Structure 1
């Protein structure tokens, strides 16, 4: 199989590439600015906002499957338009598409969100991810849409943010709950979905709902750091409009996939 990973220089994209190469697949990985640093990957530069460039690359590679991971937090053209361009190009060559989405498209509430919950975005990034899903489903109804949460693991931005807060250089929200997932588990789950016939949204996240501040305390405990200096805040105090409690119910994924999605408490205390 030839697998095209769009966004292979990112944290998740790189891990997907590593696992796919280890499994003996031919992997073509795209990047925009930061180079792809995974041995065995055929790296190609790509601007996902350029529809013609995306079509040309996919047509040249002719992959059996495409995994779309690119995003830029504050850039609609990359997150929404880029996803549409990738979906269109993949459909043209008949490639299986697994699109990476986010829990950011939900507004937040006390009860968990099932897989097929319609998006209710309340801030620009969430709206862009919702638009991306809409475009992908319109172009390719058979595509898998993986809704995930905070991605943790060595080298993750989330863990570094916790370290920064513990050092007093940043602040963690006490009222923003998520279901963190390990990058290794998530990459394995995404690769499992490539040969599967699942279509539509699927929650793939960890079973533990923790606040960002609680995540910081777990990091402190694992790394032997005194948490007394950890800075915290709330959404209201920060003046930012962001989703608060977003719990993804990943029960279906747990039954569908062989990969065990470990909770962040297990990951950071084992």
Structure 2
């Protein structure tokens, strides 16, 4: 029987990975259970497992600008520790990364092997993590973006909350990406492991594209609320420490190359998430 280790098990994606892996032999480790920056502790944790799914990450994008060393410790050093330990013990590693490894200046979807060119500290640390992970030919990187789900803070749940607190909400139109249900990402990761898909880089986002404004309107509409309550604005109205990629659409060619189904459209996934109560605050 395959033994799975899931790091970052207390996060939004971690919870959905555990849901998808229910009934299997899984060791879930939260941040409190395992310090991924401790190489010796990581080696001990990986021992005896066949598969390691790394959902542990420093994801505070704005805080990373002033705490890059802390972000690097988790996103790069920690990822490298897991990759080294997995290789040492003959386990397969799937490491979750991000669209922030790109600069967002593209006008067509980023291919899996497009050059990394991060804009800010968070993206730099995740790009460094990818490089450390991919030193091992048996490792896989799955990049994702714009995640939302049932567990933890995220844009979709925030919109649902604000809908009950305000008459209108203003949302930017000049950032475009791929809203992605964490349950779909978890299922995709487990799916590629189940068929022993080739190692490498995959883009784990729902298909299609949208601005945050489009996404917010779809959340309102899918929740039975008036989408006209969502008003358009631009990024100049929300100045933040970390730069945001203006275009974060990722291509999905690797799934077809591995003989796996392409991710479903983001609107379809959002409808399913709402129907299952995944956005309930």
Which of the five TM-score ranges fits, normalised by the shorter chain?
0.7 to 0.9
| Ranges in structure 2 where 5+ consecutive residues have no aligned partner | 65-70, 273-281
Deviation of the 1:232 alpha carbon? 5.0
Which residue does 2:36 correspond to in 1? Answer: 48
Could you report, residue by residue, the CA deviation over 1:105-158 in whole angstroms, capped at 9, with x for unpaired residues?
1111211111111211001111111111001012x1221111122223444613
Match of 2:156 among 154, 159, 166: 159
CA separation of 1:31 and 1:121: change in aligned 2, threshold 3 A: same
Could you report, residue by residue, the CA deviation over 1:26-46 in whole angstroms, capped at 9, with x for unpaired residues?
00011024xxxxxxxxxxx11
Which residue does 2:9 correspond to in 1? Answer: 8
Deviation of the 1:80 alpha carbon? 1.7
| Ranges in structure 1 where 5+ consecutive residues have no aligned partner | 34-44
Deviation of the 1:260 alpha carbon? 5.3
1: CA distance between counterparts of 2:116 and 2:49? Answer: 30
2: CA distance between counterparts of 1:92 and 1:255? Answer: 28
Which residue does 2:110 correspond to in 1? Answer: 113
Aligned residues, how many? 254
Match of 1:69 among 38, 46, 55: 55
| 8 Å Cα contact 1:181/1:261 also seen in 2 | no
**SS of structure 1 residue aligned to 2:134:** helix
2: CA distance between counterparts of 1:146 and 1:262? Answer: 16
**SS of structure 2 residue aligned to 1:4:** strand
Q: TM-score, normalised by structure 2?
A: 0.82
Matches within 5 A, 1:194-205: 194-195=193-194, 196-205=196-205
1: CA distance between counterparts of 2:246 and 2:229? Answer: 24
1: CA distance between counterparts of 2:158 and 2:101? Answer: 22
| 8 Å Cα contact 1:254/1:261 also seen in 2 | no
Matched, 1:136 2:133: yes
Aligned CA RMSD, in angstroms, stands at 2.2
1: CA distance between counterparts of 2:34 and 2:22? Answer: 20
Could you report, residue by residue, the CA deviation over 1:168-188 in whole angstroms, capped at 9, with x for unpaired residues?
597532111111222222111
Which residue does 2:278 correspond to in 1? Answer: none
